[in-house]
Amino acid sequence: MGQALLEVAVLDPRDVSGAEEGGADRLLLSTPEGMSPEPVLVSSVCRETDLPVHVVLRLNDTWTTTGGELARLAGLGESYLGCGATGVSFGFLDGDLEIDTEVCAYLSGLLPGVPWTFGRAIDDTLDPRRSWRRLMDLPDLAAARSAGSPRGLSVGFDDLIETAADPRVARLLMPGGGLLAEHVPWFVRADVYQFHLGRQVRPGGSLKAYVDAGHVRSWRLLVDDALERAVRSVG
């Protein structure tokens, strides 16, 4: 067991200090709508921190993309890396609501060696278990963010814990989408060590409020305590 990774969603350079001071390990940058930001915003965020910054690659509000969009996404990815980003987040489905492994592998191949996270598109697939198997061989995939259901962890938690019994899933899984404090010890016991935080670290859960260091710190302590307890139980 190593240290658990805590990823915090940021929207603005003014979110950075709260995430950093609270103990985040990585930042995920997007627009409030979950789309790709302008490179100038990526540059501004990266200048504010030494933490790794991953950036969302998504240009429409579906989980599909077109050839023209794909070329633009690849260009944006290169621009983000040039601005100081260290990774990206994307995920696409085909017309049958299956993981579009061809598109994902193609985009990853245009950004060789760049770690990426498959976003919550996996929660909209028809057969999530099959989808996890399809993810396993994608190049440079570092994590897959999931809530176990399109409606969030309040609905999908039990199914996601059951799916994480497969150690290959546990290695990639990053729970996100309504994560609650009570979920964390169960995930850690399942050998899940990556966590994504969004509204939980903003006062009132409002996107109009900046990321708060105290909120992030409480999650940092919670995750680290769960990990420490798991280590003791094994020892």
What is the per-residue pLDDT across 159-168, written as a single tens digit (0 to 9) for each? 999 999 999 9
Q: How many residues does the chain have?
A: 235
Tell me the per-residue pLDDT of 73-130, one tens digit each, with 9 for 90 and over: 999 999 999 999 999 999 999 999 999 999 999 999 999 999 999 999 999 999 999 9
Radius of gyration of the chain (CA): 17
- Give the model's pLDDT for residue 31: 97
Handedness of CA 226, 232, 233, 235 (dihedral sign): positive
Q: Which residues contact 169 (CB under 8 A, 6 or more apart)?
A: 132, 163
Residues 27-53, mean pLDDT to the nearest whole number: 98
Count of beta carbons in the 10 Å neighbourhood of residue 222: 18
Res. 67 pLDDT band, cuts 50 70 90: confident
The encoded tokens of residue 64 equal: 């599909």
User: CB count, 10 Å around CB of 223?
Assistant: 25
Entry pTM = 0.96
Q: Is 63's pLDDT higher than 90? A: yes
Mean pLDDT of 39-51: 98
Q: How confident is the model at residue 134 (pLDDT cuts 50, 70, 90)?
A: very high
User: Please, what is the average pLDDT of the chain?
Assistant: 95
Distance in angstroms (rounded) separating the CA atoms of residues 198 and 201: 6
What is the three-state SS of 109-174? HHCCCCCEEECHHHHHCCCHHHHHHHHCCCCCEEEEEECCCCCCHHHHHHHHHHHCCCHHHHHHEE
Look at residue 217 and give its three-state secondary structure: helix
φ/ψ of residue 125, rounded to 5: -75, 155
DSSP lists the bridge partners of residue 7 as 26, 196
Percent of the chain with pLDDT strictly greater than 90? 93
Q: What is the b/e burial string over 87-115, where b = at least 16 CB atoms within 10 angstroms of the residue's CB?
A: bbbbbbbeeeeebbeebbeebbeebeebb
Q: Which of 206, 196, 136 is nearest to 166 (CA)?
A: 136
- Say if residue 235's pLDDT is above 70: no
Token pair for residue 179? 């994560």
- Beta partners for 141? 116
What is the reported pLDDT for 191?
96
* pLDDT digit string, tens, across residues 173-230: 999 999 999 999 999 999 999 999 999 999 999 999 999 999 999 999 999 999 999 8
Find all residues with CB under 8 Å of 171, minimum gap 6, and list them: 191
Q: What domains sit in the chain, N to C, each tagged with a CATH number?
A: 5-234 (3.20.20.380)
pLDDT at 232: 80
CA 200/CA 149 separation, integer angstroms: 18
Q: What is the pLDDT of residue 1?
A: 54
